[in-house]
Amino acid sequence: MRTSTDASPAPTTLSATVKPAIRIDSLGKRFGPTGPVVLDNINLTVAPGEFLCLLGASGCGKSTLLNIIAGLEHPSEGTVTVTSGSAAVMFQESALFPWLTAGRNVELALKLRGVPRSARRAQALELLDLVNLADAASKRPHELSGGMRQRVALARALAQDRKVLLMDEPFAALDAITRDLLHEELERVWRETGRTIIFVTHNVREAARLGQRVVLMSSRPGRISNEWRIDDTGPRRIESPEVSRLAIEITDQLREEIRRNAA
């Protein structure tokens, strides 16, 4: 694994023939005309098919930035361009409809996308199979474990058939073993589908385990303070020495950011 850092990271440089999946230029955000600045001068380019982890302390603006990319919030200044036009979003809570089965929850996303009724069930089963949950299609959310509910939520997000997937701490409430299993599932799905993923987390090891690139945000206001690029040599394990070394390096800088903002 190779890592590189830069205290003032520039946007990713892409070939002139390749359009970025996401481009953010000089983005700023404040809530209300006189409110505090939440995000300041965010510049970020995400390549098609890239897995980017967005990391920072609680309150640094990670989720706000993700909501702006998703179109759920509007920036106060600057621009965000999602080349494919829109993004699917997966949150920390699965937010499944409790009266619908797992299959029907996925079918609902297909219905909203305009998939004909005759094709929805087969497509829903294919998506549940992609997340290794086809045998739970007839079960309702209360019959599923937390990890299984998040797999259904992932299948539902994939059912939107968008090239960009935004994930806001989707595994934060799960135990360590379940989270590790879902890391493997998510990485497999990412490699199979070629989605562009922005994954928000405050878990340093999770970011070091999953990301091709890890972007660290400072707080008050939120700015990009550093980034690490990781050679993609295949699946990584969270307990591997390479992940541990990277996590230690990132944690040291994250602690420095927290101390700076506490001063």
Which part of the chain has CATH 3.40.50.300?
1-86+164-263
b/e map 7-16, b = 16+ CB within 10 Å: eebeebeeee
Contact 88, 158 (CB under 8 A): yes
Q: Provide CB contacts within 8 A for 10, sequence distance 6+.
A: 43
For the stretch 26-34, contacts whose Cβ atoms lie closer than 8 Å and that sit 24 or more positions apart, written own/partner, are 26/77, 26/78, 26/79, 27/65, 27/68, 27/75, 27/77, 27/78, 27/79, 27/80, 28/75, 28/76, 28/77, 28/78, 29/61, 29/64, 29/65, 29/68, 29/73, 29/75, 29/76, 30/76
pTM of the model: 0.89
Q: Which tokens sit at 200?
A: 């928000």
Three-state DSSP at 150 gives: helix
Q: Provide CB contacts within 8 A for 241, sequence distance 6+.
A: none
User: Looking at the domain that runs over 1-86+164-263, which CATH code has it been given?
Assistant: 3.40.50.300
pLDDT of residue 187: 93
Q: Which tokens sit at 182?
A: 């879902």
pLDDT of residue 208: 93
Contact 157, 165 (CB under 8 A): yes
pLDDT of residue 234: 73
pLDDT in tens, the chain (263 residues): 445 544 434 444 555 577 899 999 999 999 887 888 999 999 999 999 999 999 988 888 899 999 999 999 999 999 999 998 889 999 888 889 999 999 999 999 999 999 998 899 999 999 999 999 999 999 999 999 999 999 999 999 999 999 999 999 999 888 989 999 999 999 999 999 999 999 999 899 999 999 999 999 988 889 999 999 988 777 788 888 888 999 999 999 888 887 877 65
